């Protein structure tokens, strides 16, 4: 039995039936990670010792009948901007290369209550600012389907880890498409819930009004079960919402007869790659054959979404990242003369180029004389975009379109032109501006063998409709997850040992040399 081919729910059933032990499952993904990490670079931290201890504790609880959930004992990964007590949480930035939180994020706690075994923390764009997972101080993550291409971002490490079978599922965060876009590029399923559904407590903020934690998995059923586990009202997060129904797995039905699905003409026209467009139309016809009613319509204000998003997100980022000054925690520049010198040197050395670019943009639009012209105007645009979606959902149950205008670009291409990289988020950022749920589902590959994702968008708190339509598509096409050929067990190991892997992590973070900075 090849454990790695199982979905999370399938593995959970086998663990519950005593066909597989938690330790056996964990050892399978650790072996896979050791085999492929030299090439893929999905993980920032692989916590083998801690994961083995978790596996033993979880197994005991399963044996005593204390853990009966569908995900009990299933190994998972967590994006490196989501806090876990005592474990390095770096946001893939040098400025937090030595930061160990004193608390655990509520979403991770919810998973742990269900018996999850956290394998490690996944690579990401620095402070979630990027669309390719190339701005990480730990180096870029590569797409498991083709190592010359990016996995997307900023949750590229989480999506690549699932695609490369280095975990059964992962948590990511989505500020402007950072779960859905890399899920599309890596050929996995990613779900961004309605804003407020999952607690943001313990998520290191990029844009507080936009950020949301969500699941990445091999199929729709896994995503539904993970969302069911992590979603909750949390008093520690003032933006979290008490929902009446958290039973997302009940939406795993094949019947979508009569469901009205709108396809925006704005999403299917200029700028969309022809192979992506063909795959989306084929997927749409599958849903139509299953009984859905499809209709094209005009979704206005799409062209204003990108400027509004980057003004708002950058403004919030400049405020949120102000706390990283070398005083209380994280990296501190050495040999500084005076407080202001220490601030300047710490931030100059600690932040990467993309983070600095967005901090400067955010500080500019919030500055006196420009606040009304840029920031307030962006907030008004955000409200108009939400109104446009509200009007659409008066007619349609769901909106269907591409997740990204192209498949994954080659490594190094996007960073040469940041504005072009920003335009790659055109289909995803509106969902965050409006606080809506969105989901990316694999619907094929292009001529280079790179995955294509279809995005489904629902009205607020209508995740069940997303899950139902996505599940119906999977069932109709008999989709079964297949690992990329590049990442089979044994590829590229060359005798690399655990100690070598951990050393490479320390070296990438710049923490092995005390002279490079010290813990504040």
Strands (E), 62-188: 75-79, 117-122, 169-174
Q: What is the pLDDT of residues 28-40, one digit of tens each?
A: 999 999 999 999 9
Beta bridge partners of residue 118, listed in sequence order: 76
Of 79, 109, 142, 465, which residue is the catalytic one?
Answer: 79
Least confident of 255-269, 310-324, 390-404, 504-518: 504-518
User: Which residue in 136, 154, 232, 318 is the catalytic one?
Assistant: 154
Mean pLDDT of 169-193: 98
Q: How far is 93 from 238, CA to CA, in rounded Å?
A: 27
Contact 487, 144 (CB under 8 A): yes
Q: How far apart are CA 71 and CA 97, in angstroms?
A: 31
pLDDT tens, position by position, 42-71: 999 999 999 999 999 999 999 999 999 999
133 burial (CB, 10 Å; 0-12 / 13-18 / 19+) is buried
Q: Is the peptide bond before 154 cis (omega within 30 degrees of 0)?
A: yes
Give the separation between CA 231 and CA 228, rounded to whole angstroms: 6
Determine the average pLDDT of the residues in 8-17: 97
Task: Tell me which of 204-208, 454-458, 472-476, 495-499 is least confident.
Answer: 495-499
178 catalytic? Reply is: yes
CB 125 within 8 Å of CB 110: no
CB 418 within 8 A of CB 129: no
Give the confidence band of 496 by pLDDT, cuts at 50, 70, 90.
Answer: very low
Please confirm, yes or no, whether 154 is among the known catalytic residues. Answer: yes
Q: Return mean pLDDT, the chain.
A: 91
Question: What tens digit of pLDDT does each residue of 303-354 get?
Answer: 899 999 999 999 999 999 999 988 888 888 888 888 888 988 999 999 999 9
Average pLDDT over residues 103-130: 97
Domains, the chain, ordered by start: 3-302+382-481 (3.90.1300.10)
Of 457, 399, 431, 388, the closest CA to residue 262 belongs to 399
Q: Taking 80 as the threshold, does the pLDDT of residue 205 lie above it?
A: yes
Residue 191 main-chain phi, psi, to 5 deg: -125, 125
User: What pLDDT is recorded for position 271?
Assistant: 87
**SS3 (DSSP) at 135:** coil
Residue 119: phi, psi to the nearest 5? -80, -40
What DSSP element (H or E) covers 439? Answer: strand 438-445
Among residues 178, 183, 184, 232, the one annotated as catalytic is 178
Instruction: Kindly state the percentage of the chain with pLDDT values over 90.
Output: 82
Catalytic residue list contains 348 = no
Please name the residues in contact with 90: beta carbons below 8 A apart, sequence gap of 6 or more: 44, 80, 96, 97, 99, 121, 137, 138, 509
Quick check: 432 and 179 in contact, CB under 8 A? no
Alpha carbons 281 and 289: distance in angstroms, whole number: 12
In this predicted structure, what is the pLDDT of residue 333? Answer: 87
Give which of 425, 386, 365 is closest to 195, Cα–Cα.
386
The maximal CA–CA distance of the chain, rounded, in angstroms, is 70
Residue 450 CA: distances (Å) to CA of 152, 166, 328, 421: 12, 19, 44, 18
Measured CA to CA, the distance from residue 287 to residue 275 in angstroms comes to: 19
């Amino acid at each position: 039995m090849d454990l790695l081919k199982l979905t999370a729910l399938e593995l959970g059933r086998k663990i519950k039936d005593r066909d597989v032990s938690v330790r056996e499952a964990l050892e399978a993904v650790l072996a896979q990670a050791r085999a492929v990490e030299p090439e893929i670079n999905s993980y920032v931290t692989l916590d083998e010792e801690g994961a083995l201890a978790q596996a033993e504790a979880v197994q005991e609880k399963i044996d005593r009948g204390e853990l009966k959930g569908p995900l009990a004992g299933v190994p998972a990964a967590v994006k490196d901007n989501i806090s876990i007590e005592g474990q390095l949480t770096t946001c893939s930035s040098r400025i937090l290369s030595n930061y160990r939180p004193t608390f655990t994020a509520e979403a991770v706690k919810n998973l742990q209550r269900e018996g999850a075994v956290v394998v490690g923390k996944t690579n990401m764009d620095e402070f979630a600012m990027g669309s390719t997972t190339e701005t990480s101080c730990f180096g870029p993550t590569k797409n498991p389907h083709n190592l010359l291409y990016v996995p997307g971002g900023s949750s590229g490490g989480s999506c690549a880890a699932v695609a490369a079978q280095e975990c059964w599922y992962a948590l990511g965060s989505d500020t402007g498409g950072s779960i859905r876009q890399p899920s599309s590029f890596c050929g996995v399923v990613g779900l961004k819930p309605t804003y407020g559904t999952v607690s943001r407590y313990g998520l290191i903020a990029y844009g507080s009004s936009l950020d949301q934690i969500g699941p990445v998995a091999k199929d729709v059923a896994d995503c539904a079960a993970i969302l069911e586990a992590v979603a909750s009202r949390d008093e520690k997060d003032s933006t979290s919402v008490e929902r009446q129904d958290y039973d997302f797995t009940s939406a795993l039905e094949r019947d979508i007869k009569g469901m009205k699905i709108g396809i925006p003409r704005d999403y299917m026209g200029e700028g969309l790659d022809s192979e992506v467009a063909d795959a989306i139309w084929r997927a749409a016809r599958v849903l139509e054959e299953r009984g859905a009613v499809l209709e094209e319509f005009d979704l206005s204000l799409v062209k204003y979404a990108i400027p509004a998003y980057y003004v708002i997100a950058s403004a919030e980022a400049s405020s949120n990242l102000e706390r990283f000054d070398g005083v209380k925690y994280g990296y501190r520049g050495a040999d500084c003369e005076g407080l202001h010198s220490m601030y300047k040197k710490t931030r100059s050395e600690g932040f990467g180029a993309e983070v600095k670019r967005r901090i400067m943009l955010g500080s500019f639009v919030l500055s006196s004389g420009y606040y009304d012209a840029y920031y307030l105007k962006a907030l008004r645009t955000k409200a108009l975009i939400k109104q446009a979606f509200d009007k659409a959902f008066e007619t349609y149950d769901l909106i269907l379109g591409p997740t990204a205008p192209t498949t994954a670009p080659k490594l190094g291409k996007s960073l040469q032109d940041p504005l072009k990289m920003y335009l790659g988020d055109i289909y995803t950022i509106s969902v965050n501006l409006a606080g809506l749920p969105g989901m990316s589902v694999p619907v094929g590959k292009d001529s280079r063998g790179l995955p294509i994702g279809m995005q489904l968008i629902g009205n607020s708190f209508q995740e069940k409709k997303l899950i139902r339509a996505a599940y119906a598509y999977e069932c109709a096409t008999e989709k079964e997850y297949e690992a990329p050929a590049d990442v089979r067990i044994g590829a590229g190991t060359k005798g690399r040992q655990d100690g070598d892997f951990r050393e490479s992590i320390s070296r990438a973070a710049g923490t092995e040399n005390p002279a490079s900075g010290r813990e504040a």
